Structure 1
Amino acid sequence: MANLALVYGMRLLPADEIKTVGEGTVNLQNGNQAGVTLHLLEGTREQIEAQLRQSIDAFFDFFPEI
């Protein structure tokens, strides 16, 4: 299996200050770009942590071969 890299980022902001969430860009060695979808989770710390765990589990469900 190839060596993989998981690209992610986090920033905690007041929920009512967010206007839009866009897409991040990764520049690849071959000159291409790959998009990284950014996700927004809102709630209390406990709610955000629970949603993040579910999101991570769901992400890896897309790649059962890993």
Structure 2
Amino acid sequence: MANLTLVYGMRLLPADEVSSVGDATLALKNGNEAHVTMHILEGSREQIEAQLRLSIDAFFDFYPEI
């Protein structure tokens, strides 16, 4: 299997400051575009960390061949 690239971003903001979140657009070398769905996790540090761990596990469940 070829090497893979995981694209992600994180930014921590006060919960009441976020009004909307959109997709991130990636430019591919072949001239095409790809889109990354952005997600929001809210709560205490511990709650966010637990949700993030579950999200990462679920993400890789979509790709059992990896």
TM over 0.5: yes
SS in 2 for 1:53: helix
Runs of 4+ in 1 over 4 A off after TM superposition: none
Give me the identity figure in percent: 76
For structure 2, the residue ranges without an aligned partner over 5 or more in a row are none
RMSD over aligned CA atoms reads: 0.3
3-state SS in 2 of match to 1:35: strand
1:22-47 residue CA offsets vs partner (Å, 9 max, x unmatched): 00011000000000000000000000
TM-score where L is the length of structure 1:
0.99
Q: What are the ranges of 5 or more consecutive residues in structure 1 without an aligned counterpart?
A: none
Secondary structure of the equivalent of 1:42? coil
Cα shift at 1:4: 0.4
Q: Within 1, Cα distance between the matches of 2:32 and 2:17?
A: 33
Q: How many residues align?
A: 66
2:26 alignment counterpart: 26
- TM-score, normalization by structure 2: 0.99
CA offsets 1:9-62 (integer angstroms, 9 cap, x no match): 000000011000100011000000000000000000000000000000000000
